[in-house]
Chains A and B, each alone.
Chain A
């Protein structure tokens, strides 16, 4: 998979660009649909960053351990779409502007809640992904056992 990525660097970049071309406007559109007043908690950016962190963690597990190997899904969805959908710079600038407006409590809440919720969402995404991996492997284990059993029965017959 790595070698095929290296042999098509232009296509990987294109997949990232297309993902970014969708992820950036998705964030901008949500900001327009759910605007937050200046000097208040930037709830829309918070929700975008937390949901994006959950999806990234879940997708990385699915891509690496569940779905068949692909070259462009991770660049498109993870690096491109979710990378552009979530944003670090707005988080920092919003926090600084809350501080300069004297809204210290809101600034601290934005900083700490985003960090904690982002890490929590990542952990949740990873464990949901691992749950899917476990269920899949146990189901495969059951069907393998069932196959072995029917063979035994067939042998008896």
Chain B
């Protein structure tokens, strides 16, 4: 129950962090691609990879992954907006941009998560 509450608090920080960072990135430069959500999802994947790796290999308490990983990183990153942005590009006829959004998000997201997991092995 305490853990559930801690996850809630962490998620209550992660969601506004996503909103503020997205506004800062999108406001800075005009782009058809949702660069804000991209950057958020990739950085969040790196941090969750690192936290998961630290818990797996370096004896970091599991509760830290639950709160900072499941709570914060889970709420900071988002799948629904990624899908919605991609579908909106498809409906606008911007098939190439939609493909880039998927390709960059997935390639960079998987590489970032792997980098986080790998970094934990070196600590």
Contacts and interface: CB of A to CB of B under 8 A. Distances in A.
Interface string A47-85: 001001101110010000000000000010011101111
B106 A84 contact: no
Nearest to B117: A96
Interface in A1-38: 12-13, 16-25, 27-29, 31
A27 B15 CA distance: 14
B70 to A, nearest CB: 5
Interface residues of B, number: 51
A43 interface: no
B113 A84 contact: no
Given A91-B79, A93-B113, A96-B49, A20 B87 contact: no
B84 A83 contact: no
B63 interface: no
A8 B71 CA distance: 26
Given A79-B19, A89-B47, A119-B86, A23 B75 contact: yes
A53 B83 contact: yes
Interface in B76-120: 76-84, 86-87, 90-91, 102, 105-106, 109-110, 112-114, 116-117
A49 B81 CA distance: 10
Contact of A123 (B16, B48, B82, B87): B87
A29 B3 CA distance: 11
Q: Ordered nearest first, which 9 A-B pairs have the shortest CB separation? A: A24-B11, A20-B15, A84-B75, A21-B12, A86-B79, A88-B77, A89-B48, A56-B80, A118-B83
Interface of A: 12-13, 16-25, 27-29, 31, 49, 52-53, 55-57, 60, 75, 78-80, 82-93, 95-97, 100, 111, 114-115, 118-119, 121-123, 126
